[in-house]
Structure 1
Amino acid sequence: MIKSPSSGCCSDSCGAEEDRELEIKDAIAGNILEFRVEGMDCPVCAQTLEKSLIKMLGINDAKVNYSTSKMQVVVENEALLESIQKHAQKLGFKATPITQTKKKGQTFNIEGMDCGICAQTLEKYLKTLPTVREVSVNFSTGKMQIVHAMTIEEVMKAVSKSGFKASLVSSSRKQNTNSPVPATKKFNVSSNSMSGILLVLGYFGTIAHIPELISILLYAASVLIGGYKPAKSAYYAVKSKSLDMNVLMTTAAIGAAMIGQWLEAATVVWLFSLGIYLQTKTLDKTRDSIRSLMSLTPPEAWLKIGQDLVRTSVDDISVGDTIVIKPGEKIPLDGEIVSGTSSINQATITGESIPVDKNEGDTVYAGTINENGSLEVKVTKLIEDTTIAKIIQLVEEAQAKKAVTQTIVDRFAKIYTPIVFALAMLTMIVPPMLGLGTWSDWFYKGLELLVIACPCALVISTPVAIVSAIGNAAKNGVLIKGGTFLEVAGTIKAIAFDKTGTLTAGKPKVAKIITLNGSEQEIISVTRTIEEHSQHPIALAIMNYAKANNISSQKADSFKALPGKGAQASIEGIEYFAGKPGLFRELGLFIDLEVQNRIETSQNEGNTIVMVGTKTKLIGIILVADYVREVTVTALKKLKEVGIEQIVMLTGDNEGTARKVASETGVDRYFSELLPEDKVNTVKQLQQDYNVVAMVGDGINDAPALATANLGIAMGGAGTDTAMETADIVLMADNLEKLPHTIKLSRRALRIIKQNIWFAILVKLVALVLIFPGWLTLWMAVMSDTGAALIVILNSMRLMRMKV
C-alpha cells in the first residue's frame, strides 16, 4: 500500500487523501516505478516532492512515504524513470530505483472452479480480450492475477461470462468491497434445486402415465434451468478453443435430448450441477484454510501519541510508531518491545503451543496473542511486510507451484481428453455406417464417452492434496515452498544436521564447576564480578548461572578486558583473573599435571575452559558448553519412527565435542572438524548412499551444504528473513519439534496422491468397459465423473485434519 507521509491533517483533507490513496490502489493501467529517496528530513519534504512529481507530464500519480523513505510513481511510460530521478535531484533529493518497473496488476478470488481445466478455460478466454495485457489463473489457490485496462466491474463481468465469480482481493480497509453477492450463490443453489424438482415431477409424470408432452416439457425446463450456467461456460470455452467439462457435459445433454432421451438429459444436467456445487463448496474449504490466516491480525491498534492512546487502522501506522497491546489482545504489527513484559502465544507463527516469555528488546509478531501484561511496542514492519503477511504470501506462492506428479497428470489429461473425444465421434459414426447397430444406440454410447472424456478427478488428484498438505503445515509453523518440495520431503531417506544452533541451542551455559582452592559460590561470585561488563557469550552464560543461583558480585575496581585471553578486576586490592589456560601460563602460574589432565579431558568432551584465580593461586575452573535442545532427542527419535533410515550430524567442532553431542542426541553417524566444502562433499556422499538427502541448518550458515542437498530445511524462520527466502522448507520455530510431522505429512500426501490418481484412472477404465455391453447409462457416467472428483477432494482434505 502507498501511504501518506503526513503525520496530521484536517478531516476534509484526510478524507480526500484517503480517497486518492484508494484510487491509486485501484489504478487499472500503467506501471509503477519504485524508488528509495535520500535527503528528506521531514514529512513536508515528502509532500513537496510528491506534489511536484504529480505535475509532470506522463505521471498519473505519486506517493512519497517519509517514514520508509520510499516513493512509488504511477507512470504511463517506463522511459520516465530517468526524468523522475533528475526532477528529484533538482529539488535536492536523490531517488534510487529499488526495482525496475512493476506492472500494475490486480488479484481476484475466483469462485466456481472445480478443476484445472476450468482455470485454463478462463485464462484462455480472458486472453482473447484486447483490454487484457496479462492474465494467470491458478486453480489451487482460486486466484487470478491480471494486468488489464478495464474497470473492476468489467473484469468481474468478463469472468462471469465464463461461469465463474470474481471478487477483488483488497486491503484490510476495503476487505468487503466487491465481494460476491450472496444472492448469486443462492441463485445457484435454487436453480439446482428447481432443476431437481422439475426432474422428479417429470419422472413421476412418466410413471403416472400423464401425457408424454407434459413430462417432456418438465424435463426440458429442468435442463434449461439447471444447464444454463454450464451451457454459458461451454460457449465461452469453445470460443477460447478449450475442451472443458462444461463443453462435454452440455454436448452430452443436448445429444440425449436430440435422440429423445429427455430423462437422461435432465438427469445428466442435474447430477452435473449438483456435483459441481458440492465440489466447489468442498474446494473452497481447502482454499479458506489459508485465507483464514489473514484474519489473524486485528485491523486496528492502540497508537500511542504523547500520553494518549488512539484507536487507529493498522494501514495508517508507520515504522517507528509506538503501539500498546493490552492483555488478551492480538498483536497487530511486528515490532520490538520498548516497555513491559508478558507471555506471548506464538502458535500462529511457530506452531508452538507453549507461550514464550518476552521482555524489553524482544521481537513480537503480528497475529500472536499477548497473554498477560501490557506492552509498548515500537513498530518495525508495515502491515504488508509482517512475518504473517510473508507466510501467507509464501504459502500461496507454494500452492501455485506445480509438483512433478501434477505436471505429468496435466500433460496426460491434455492428451487423454482429445483422444476420448475423437473416439466418441468415431463411435457415433463408424459402427452404424458399418451396419453394426442403430444410429441412436451408437450415438448414445458416444455421448457416454463424451462424459468419460472429462478428466476432472484425475486433474485435481494432485493439486488439492498439495494445497491441503501445505495448509496443514503452515498452520503448524512449517512453510513448504511448493509441491515439488513436498514430494521430495516424502521420499527422504537420510537427513544431515548442522550441530550448532540446530541440534544444540547455540547458546553456551555453565556445565560444571571444578573447585580447587575455593567454594563454587566463591568461584562464581569472583567470575561474575570480573565479567559483569562483558557481552561475550561465555561471560553471559556465567552471569546467567550466577543470577539463577542468586550468587551476587563483589565490590571491585580496575576492570580490564584482555582480548583473546579473558578479563581481570581488582577485588579488595587483589587482582583476579578469569580466562583461558594460556592466560595463567603467561602470568607464570604453575599448573600441576592433575589439573592439566582434567583440562584436556574437559576440552575433549566439548567444554570451553574458564580458569579463575590470581597470579599466585588457581581457585577453580568453570566448564562452559553448548547444550542439546530439549526437543532434539524426541524429534530425532520420531524421525526414525516415520522411516528416516540415516540421521547424520555435521560439525566443524573437534572430535570430542562431536562425540559427546552424538551420544546425547542418538544420531547414527557424525562427521567432525569439517570445513564448509567438507560438508558439501559429505552431503554428496550421503546422496550416493541414500539417493534423497535433506540438510537441516539455520538458513544462513552452511549455505553450500543446504543448496547441495535434495532438500534444504532452515530453522528459526520467524526471526530470520533469509531463512524464509532461501530454504525449500522452513521451520518457523527455533527447534526441530515440527520436522517429524512435516516428513510424516509429506509421506501421507504422496500416498493420498497415488490413491487419488489410481482411483480416478480405475473409475474411468471401469466406465469405459461398461459402455459397450450397454451396462452403463448416461446418468451413471455423469455420477462416475462428478462422484469420483468429489471423493478425490474429500480424500485429499484428510491431510488438513492430520494432527501433529
Structure 2
Amino acid sequence: MSDELATKTRYRVGGMDCASCAMKIETALTRLPGVSQADVSVTAGTLSVHHEPSLSLLSVERQVKALGFTIQPLSTTGKSAEVPEEQAGAGAHHHDHDHGHDHGHDYGHGHDHGAIIDGPWWKTTKAQLTIACAAALALAYLVGRMIPEVERLAYLAALAIGLVPVARRAISAAFAGTPFSIEMLMSIAAVGAVFIGAVEEAATVVLLFLVGEMLEGVAAGRARQSIRGLTDLVPKTALVEENGTTVERPATTLAVGTVIVVRPGDRIAADGTIVDGESAIDEAPVTGESLPKRKVPGDSVFAGTINTDAVLRIRVTAAAQDNTIARVVKLVEEAQESKAPTERFIDRFSRSYTPFVLVVGLLVATLPPLLFSEPWLEWIYKGLAVLLIGCPCALVISTPAAIAAGLSAGARRGLLIKGGAILESLRRVTTVAVDKTGTLTLGRPVVTDIVALARNERQILSLAAALESGSSHPLALAILDRAKADKAPVPPAFEAKALAGKGVSGNVGGETVLLLSPRAAAGVDGLSLEIEARIAALNDEGKTVSVLLAGGKLAGLIAMRDEPRPDSAIALKRLAERGIATVMLTGDNQRTAAAIAGRLGIEARADLLPQDKQTIVRELQAQGALVAKVGDGINDAPALAAADIGIAMGGGTDVALETADAASLHGRMADIPDMIDLSKSVMGNIRQNITIALGLKVVLLVTTILGVTGLWPAILADTGATVLVTANAMRLLRWQAGTA
C-alpha cells in the first residue's frame, strides 16, 4: 500500500499504563487487513493508524476494545475538549478520515472506562479492580481464620476476582498476535501456583500485580498531565469586540480576524497580532523566556501568554485548534508516537526475551527433578517465580517513558523536538552549521555608532529620525528605535522625500537636511580623506554608514549593523566546551560576515546561495561529521533538509516545523546547546532505567534458584522496578536548561 493512498486516523486510547500495552495494540492492529502501520504513545494516550481509505474503522475500535482498552476518535474540529465524556462515549462510532492533518485534542474530564483520568486515582477501573481484589483477599483471610475448611475456596474466589480480567486480556492479546504478554506470564504463574497448592500466594501475587499496574497508571498519568497541562494555559473565554461593545465568548469559537480585548493581568486567549496598545508580554508559560517582551502594534502574540501592564486589542490569526499551544501539544504527541532507535531495539529484544523466559522457567521447573530427583513442588514453584521475574514490563517502558518525559520537558521550555530518534541523535552532533541573519544575529540592523562632527550626537539622531519618520525601511526603523531609546526629540520634517539610490531629504526647523549614502554624500559635499578613512573603518567592521548633512554642511555619521544576539557568544562557547565545532554560513558579503564572526569567534563562510549551504553541509558529512544545521527554515530549507538534524529558529505560526527536525520557540542560540544537553540527560536516564530493570532481574533470578526468594518478592520486585523506572523517567520533567 503506497503512503500516498494511505489515510491516517488518530484516536485517544484509555487504559494504557506501560509500553507493553502499546506493543499489544500495535501488533493487533497491524494484523488487520488494510492497516499498514499503527503508532501508539502511552504517555500521550494517543494512537495513529495508517490504513487504506476503504478500511472499516469499526474493526480498529473492536480490536482495541477486545484488548481491554477504551478508544475514541479524535475530532478534527478541535472541539472535543468541549464534549462531556458521557456524550463522547456515545459518539464512538463517528469516523475521522483526516489524511494526516487532524488537530484534535480531547482533554475531556470525567469518569473513564479504563482510561487514566485527571480526577482521583481511585476512580479508574484498574484502581477499582485492585481495591475489590484487596477487599476479597482480606475477607478470604478472615473467613479462613473463622472457618478453616472453606479457606481454600475463599482464596480461590479472591484470586478469581483479580485474575479473570487479567486472563481475559491475556487471551485477547494472544488471539491478536501477542501470545507472550505480561498478562499471559502472570496467568500461567497464578494458575500454576494453584495446582501446587500455593493458593494464598497466587491470590497475593495477582493483587501485587494489580497494585503495580495501578501505580504505573498513576505515574504514566503524571507524564500525560505534563504536556496536556499546556492546554490549560489558554483561557476558556475571551472578550470579543462586537458592535462597539465587548462580549465574553468561548475561546474555542474565536474565528480568524476576530478582534479581542485583553486586559492587564489576563492571559491571551488566541494567537494574534496587536492592532492597538503597547504592553510587556510574559511569554514564560509558552517559551520559558524569563523576562517579559515589549510588544507594539503589528507584533504577534501567543495564546496562553500573559499581558502584564496595558489594555491590548488583538486580531486573531489562528483558530483554537491551530494556535501555538495546540500545535506544540500535537507535535509532542506525534513525536511520542514515533519510536526511537533504542526503543525499537528494546521492543525487538523483549519479543524474543519473553519466550526465552518461559523456556527458562520450564527448564528450572523440570530439569532438577528429572535429572537430580529434586522435589517437584519446590522446583515448579521456583519455575513459576522465574516467570514472574521475567516480566519485561520495566525493561520495555525504560526507553519510551524517558523519551516521552524528555520531549515534554523540552516542549515546556520552548524546545520542540520531532521524535525520539531526533532526541537520541542530538547528543552525537559533532558540528553545528549556523545561519547568520536572524539566527546568530537579531535579523534587523541597530545603530552602533554616531560620529559627531558639526552637531552633537543627540542633534544628529533627532535630525535623522525626523527625516525617517513614517518609513518602514529597516535602516530607518533602526534610527527611529535608537531615537526612542535615547529619548531624543523627533521634530516634524517638511517636504521629506526619498532620493532614489541615494537617501532621503527634507526641511527640519527651517534648514535643509540630507541623510545619504557615503557615495551620494561625496557628490554633494566632497568628503575629506579623514572622513573617508573613518567610513572605510566602519565598513570594515561590517557596518552600513549613512552621512547626515545639515544646512549644506557635514553634520555627522550614523553607522548601523545587524548585531549578534545577546546569547550568541555564550551559546557558541558552550558548544565549544562540549567539543562541538561551529561554522557560520551566510549569503552576506565577506566583510560583514568576517566582522560578525570575529566578534563571536566562529569560522565564517560568506557569499553563499541556498544550494551552496547545502553543498557545505554535504562536505562536512563526507568528512565524518554529524551535522546539525540551524536556520530560519526559509532560505535555509535545502541545507536543513540535507543536515543530519535541521533546527529551525523562530516562534509561533512561522516556526518551520514541517521542514525541520527540531525548533526553538524562543529563536535563541542558547537553545542549541540546551537541546544537546537534554538529549544527553535523556540517554543517561535510559541507561539508568535499563540498569535498574535488568539488574533487579538478575539478582532475583539468582536468589530464586538458590531458594532465598519466592513468588511474592518476584512480583513485588518486578512491580517495584517498573514504578522505579517510570519515576526515574519522570524526573526529566523537572529538567532545566544548563543542568547537564
Normalised by the length of structure 2, the TM-score is 0.85
Distance in 1 of aligned mates of 2:515 and 2:689? 66
Matches of residues 550-699 of structure 1 in structure 2 within 5 Å? 550-553=487-490, 556-570=493-507, 575-587=512-524, 589-613=525-549, 617-640=553-576, 643-665=578-600, 667-684=601-618, 686-687=620-621, 691-699=625-633
1:150 and 1:524 map into 2 onto residues whose CA distance is 68
Matched to 2:640, the amino acid is L
Matched, 1:181 2:111: yes
Secondary structure of the equivalent of 2:634? coil
Once the two structures are superposed, the pairs formed by residues 487-566 of structure 1 within 5 Å of their partners are 487-553=424-490, 556-566=493-503
Find the partner of 1:172 among 81, 96, 113: 81
What aligned pairs does 1:339-418 form with structure 2 within 5 A after superposition? Answer: 339-418=276-355
Partner SS for 1:462 = helix
Aligned: 1:437 with 2:384: no
The match for 1:87 is none
Provide closer, same or farther for how the CA distance between residues 690 and 747 of structure 1 changes in structure 2, counting only shifts above 3 A.
farther
Partner of 1:228: 164
Question: What amino acid does structure 1 have at the position aligned with 2:683?
Answer: L
**Are residues 1:120 and 2:23 paired?**
yes
Range with bigger deviation, 245-254 or 137-146: 137-146
Distance 1:464 1:708 in 2: 30
| Whole-angstrom distance in 2 between the partners of 1:125 and 1:629 | 51
How far off is 1:117 after superposition? 2.4
Amino acid at match of 1:679: K
* Unmatched tracts of structure 2, length 5 or more: 90-108, 115-121
Q: Using the TM superposition, give the Cα deviation of residue 120 of structure 1 relative to its aligned residue in structure 2, in angstroms.
A: 3.0
Establish whether residue 704 from structure 1 lines up as the match of residue 638 from structure 2. yes
Distance change in 2, residues 1:155/1:593 (3 Å): closer
What RMSD over aligned residues (CA atoms) do the two structures have, in Å? 3.3
Task: Note if contact 2:20-2:397 (Cα within 8 Å) is conserved in structure 1.
Answer: no
Aligned 8 A contact 1:694 1:711 in 2: yes
State the alpha-carbon separation in 2 of the partners of residues 298 and 598 from structure 1: 55
Match of 2:678 in 1: 745
1:476-512 residue CA offsets vs partner (Å, 9 max, x unmatched): 1111111111111222233232222122212211111
8 Å CA contact 2:39, 2:337 repeated in 1: no
In the alignment, the residues of structure 2 paired with residue 528 and residue 668 of structure 1 have an alpha-carbon distance, to the nearest angstrom, of 35
How far apart are 1:136 and its partner, in Å? 5.1
Q: Choose between structure 1 and 2 for higher RCO, CA contacts under 8 A separated by at least 6 residues.
A: 2
CA spacing shift, 1:697–1:579, aligned 2, 3 Å: same
CA displacement, residues 115-169 of structure 1 (integer Å, 9 cap, x when unaligned): 3222232455567889999965433422234688688xx9888755423344665
Q: Name 1:59's counterpart in structure 2.
A: none
Distance in 2 between residues matched to 1:448 and 1:659, nearest whole Å:
69
Tell me the alpha carbon deviations over residues 281-316 of structure 1, each in whole angstroms, 9 at most, x when there is no partner.
111111121122222222322222202322222343
Counterpart among 67, 82, 85 of residue 162 in structure 1: 67
2:10·2:46 contact (CA, 8 Å) conserved in 1?
A: no
List gaps (5 residues or longer) in structure 1.
Answer: 1-98
Given the superposition, is the C-alpha separation of residues 205 and 310 from structure 1 closer, same or farther in structure 2, using an over 3 Å criterion? Answer: closer
SS at structure 2 position matched to 1:781: helix
Q: Is the 8 A contact 2:535 2:545 kept in 1?
A: yes
Residues 427 and 323 of structure 1, relative CA distance in 2, 3 Å threshold: same
Partner residue in 1 for 2:668 = 735
The residue matched to 1:724 in structure 2 has which SS?
Answer: coil
- Report the alpha carbon displacement of residue 741 of structure 1 after superposing the two structures with TM: 3.0
CA 523–435 in structure 1, closer or farther in 2 if over 3 Å, else same: closer
Whole-Å separation in 1 of the counterparts to 2:453 and 2:61: 82
1:624 CA drift (Å): 1.1
- The reply on whether 1:262 has 2:262 as its aligned counterpart is no
Higher mean C-alpha deviation, range 291-300 or range 122-131: 122-131
Q: Which amino acid aligns with 2:627?
A: V
Closer, same or farther in 2 for the Cα pair 1:374/1:613, shift >3 Å?
closer
Asked whether the equivalents of residues 41 and 333 of structure 2 are also in contact (C-alpha less than 8 Å), the reply is: no
Q: 1: distance between equivalents of 2:173 and 2:400?
A: 22
Distance 1:508 1:128, change over 3 A: closer
Equivalent residue number for residue 781 of structure 1: 714
AA partner of residue 153 (structure 2): L
How many pairs align?
A: 697
| 1:344–1:102 Cα change, 3 Å | farther
Q: Does 2:661 correspond to 1:757?
A: no
Aligned counterpart, 1:139: 42
Corresponding position of 2:92: none
Partner-residue secondary structure (3-state), 2:657: helix
Q: Deviations over 1:596-641 (max 9, x none)?
A: 2111111111111111227964222111112222233343444455
3-state DSSP of counterpart to 2:339: coil
Cα contact 1:344–1:370 (8 A) shared by 2 = yes
Secondary structure of residue in 1 paired with 2:567 = helix
Q: 1:322 to 1:675 in 2, by over 3 A?
A: closer
- Distance in 2 between residues matched to 1:228 and 1:611, nearest whole Å: 87
Judged with a 3 Å threshold, the aligned counterparts in structure 2 of structure 1 residues 385 and 656 are, in CA distance, closer, same or farther, namely: same
Offset at 1:438?
4.0
Cα 1:105/1:522, change in 2 over 3 Å: closer
- SS across alignment from 1:625: strand
Asked if 1:108 is matched to 2:46, the reply is no
Change (3 A) 1:780 1:100: closer
1:403 and 1:595 map into 2 onto residues whose CA distance is 61
What amino acid sits opposite 1:339 in the alignment?
Answer: D
Please report how far the alpha carbon of residue 256 of structure 1 lies from its aligned counterpart in structure 2 after TM superposition. 0.7
How many Å apart are 1:226 and its aligned residue? 2.2
- Change in 2 beyond 3 A, CA 1:510/1:258: same
Q: Secondary structure at the match of 2:444?
A: coil
**Which residue does 1:42 correspond to in 2?**
none
Q: Return the letter of the residue paired with 1:584.
A: A
Q: Structure 1's 360 and 792: CA in aligned 2 closer, same or farther, altered over 3 A?
A: same
1:270, CA displacement in angstroms? 1.4
* Aligned CA distance change for structure 1 residues 398 and 106 (closer, same or farther; 3 Å): closer
Given the superposition, is the C-alpha separation of residues 138 and 510 from structure 1 closer, same or farther in structure 2, using an over 3 Å criterion? closer
Partner of 1:792: 725
Which among 195, 203, 221 is matched to residue 133 of structure 2?
A: 195
- CA distance 1:433–1:169, change in 2 (3 Å): same
Contact 1:161 1:232 in 2 (8 A): no
